[in-house]
Amino acid sequence: MTDPYDALLLVSFGGPEKPEDVVPFLENVTRGRGIPRERLEQVREHYFLFGGRSPINDQNREFLTALRADLAEHDIDLPVYWGNRNWDPYLTDTLAQMAADGVTRAACFVTSAYSSWSSCRQYRENLFDAVDGLDGAPRLDKLRHYFNHPGFLEPVVDATLAALADLPDALGEQARIVFVTHSIPTEMNDGSGPPEAGGGAYVTQHLSAAQVVVDRIAEETGRRHGHDLVFCSRSGSPRTPWLEPDVNDHLEALAAGTGEDATTAVVLVPIGFVSDHMEVIYDLDTEALETAERVGLPARRAATPGVDPRFVAMVRDLLTERAAIESGREAVPVAVGSIGAMWNACPVGCCANPRGERPALCGQGA
């Protein structure tokens, strides 16, 4: 069922687990990006609000437990490894362990659903770095993008419905749905996706996913909510254009609307995130909800997929789908919305590195 794969690798971002980890972690994340020192100090304080510990590694541990249980329940006997880009367990160490264990070919599930350099190609570059020069390194295949897989979006639909229902005084019936994702430089968005497609894949994919959620909510409730895509967690130079509007600026603008433009309540939907890591628990739960309260706008935040059984099962679906394709067996990729199932190997030049070409795995011709 999973031939030719003899392992599955969970690839994630990583995060600090104690206060003394915070600064070295942030230096790992921002190395070579020209991030102002004052921005690093600002973000460091975000972590200290939560004990100097990111929740992301614990969330990955919980996800691994759920994933291993799901595979076992479906009689799939496959070891599951875990490696991070920016903190322990590092990809380099995990790949060395996989080589020592005799793994020959592994499928990689990345905890980032969309196309861009920072959300796809950078992971592929890091995978190349992790196996470069490693004796006995396994072949690695990245599982396809899943922003439009029902296993990702159906939990988002249900979480949004729950948040709408939790608003007081029936405000959920007219609430605006504000989809939130991580901002990236506009140049990076312009270079996202295959060159021949003209760029802009990052925003286009988010808009498609948001439309699926809104359409499904309309099917469930009979009400079509107004909605927007906004951004959080900008971290670059103020001289560099990034995707806007910022979620806080947008909430202020919504609160200032009058007449037909008036917004009575909002639900924040972290459509760009798979779990409640720092960008969610600080940028949304702390900062954005404080902004909403300050401007008098009732607000709720929808849950991320986390360890929802449908999201966990999606990994198994992507794994067995790719295994079938690689083995020449019939496979029917599942996707919802207007874009369709994504490619299995990234096209040449896809999601170009804005700082210059670097080798990457898991692409066509790679």
pLDDT tens digits along 188-225: 999 999 999 999 999 999 999 999 999 999 999 999 99
Structural contact between residues 351 and 120, judged by C-beta atoms closer than 8 angstroms = yes
Sheet with 7-12: list strands edge to edge.
80-84, 7-12, 105-110, 139-142
Task: Give the N- to C-terminal CA distance of the chain in Å, as an integer.
Answer: 25
In this model, does residue 236 exceed pLDDT 90?
no
Omega before 4 within 30 of 0, i.e. cis: yes
pLDDT mean over 62-75 = 98
CA-CA distance, 102 to 79, in Å (whole number)? 11
Residue 217's contacts (CB-CB under 8 Å, 6 or more residues apart) are 157, 160, 161, 164, 177, 223, 225
By percentage, how much of the chain surpasses pLDDT 70? 96
Residue 174's contacts (CB-CB under 8 Å, 6 or more residues apart) are 225, 264, 265
Instruction: Tell me if residue 178 falls in helix, strand or coil.
Output: strand
pLDDT tens digits along 94-111: 999 999 999 999 999 999
CA-CA distance, 52 to 56, in Å (whole number)? 12
pLDDT tens digits along 303-345: 999 999 999 999 999 999 999 999 999 999 999 999 999 999 9
In this model, does residue 33 exceed pLDDT 70?
no
In this model, does residue 41 exceed pLDDT 90?
no
C-alpha dist (Å) from residue 322 to 44, 99, 144, 217, 342? 39, 22, 8, 30, 12
In this model, does residue 226 exceed pLDDT 80?
yes
Tell me the domains of the chain and their CATH numbers: 7-146+307-326 (3.40.50.1400), 150-301 (3.40.50.1400)
CA-CA distance, 85 to 334, in Å (whole number)? 28
- In the numeric block, the tokens 């969970």 are attached to 10
CA-CA distance, 271 to 249, in Å (whole number)? 18
